[in-house]
Amino acid sequence: MPSFYELYRSSTLGTALTDSLDELIQAGHITPQLAIQVLEQYDKSISEALSNKVKAKATVKGSLGIYRFCDDVWTFVVKNPTFKFDHEGTAADKRLSGVTSFAMSTLMALVVVISLTTPFIPSSPTFDVSLHNVQTTTGRAMDPFDRTSRKAEYARLTFDLDADLSTMFNWNTKLLFAYMTVDYVTPGFETNRAVIWDRIIRNTRQAKLKLRKHHNKYALRNHPLTFEDVEGANLTLHINPVPYLGIMYDKPMVSIPFTIPRPVKAAAAGGAKA
């Protein structure tokens, strides 16, 4: 039987085995000769296991202080060592990392494709907007904390809306945001836009709109407090599809030109009444 080095008897497992054998000898359960045979078998078994069954490899870096070769065993004393372990799982980990990276890249490419193609999914919504009347009033107190609200002019629109937007719902549509704007030009600003009505449409059942003689939901007021310099305006219906995945985009559906009349003077109105 070849001899095996007793290096691994100082390991945690070897120390525990030695302590257990000492207790058994002191208790009289085994003889010292049997304990020696157990330790020799331990030396053999652990050496064979480390040589044949352990596939891990370790790389040690450090400053070599002492080395010797005795009884066919090399001994190295290394100062400030660093250990790096390589095992068989590294290849599998690399493959898994590669598959994960490819899957994430494919997913991101799919997200980009969906974002770019969703606005081009065909739909055929129907809509009709009719503007019945536009009235302008002065001194309509909308905000108790705004003193200018009593002097400002407010435009009130009366309109009809018939729309069927159900075809705009597809697998990537979360909801539709419908709103109306009034656009006009003033001497000081080329672009003026105010939202006067909106609605959130969450499903195809809510996508059929039928409004009769509806008024603007939000007040229409010009920044200079008067519409005197506004010659013309446009009432526009917008639909903003909100996708589950991708970017939101705006679809102006129909635009109606109209004029904002001047408010009736209070004195003139009183005289006419008299």
The pLDDT value given to residue 92: 67
Q: For 245, which DSSP code?
A: S
The pLDDT value given to residue 89: 54
Nearest to 85 by CA among 53, 50, 56, 110: 56
**Residues of the chain below pLDDT 70:** 1-5, 87-92, 140-148, 264-274
Which tokens go with 140?
A: 């309509």
Q: What is the pTM of this model?
A: 0.59
Block residue for tokens 């390589």: 86
Contact between residue 61 and residue 81 where contact means Cβ atoms under 8 Å apart? yes
The pLDDT value given to residue 271: 44
The pLDDT value given to residue 3: 57
The pLDDT value given to residue 139: 73
pLDDT tens, position by position, 157-204: 999 999 999 999 998 999 999 999 999 998 878 889 999 999 999 999
Contact between residue 134 and residue 155 where contact means Cβ atoms under 8 Å apart? yes
CA dist 181 → 1, 17, 37, 158 (Å) = 98, 86, 96, 14
The pLDDT value given to residue 142: 57
The pLDDT value given to residue 274: 37
Give alpha helix (H) positions in the chain. 12-27, 32-52, 89-117, 266-273
Q: For 53, which DSSP code?
A: T
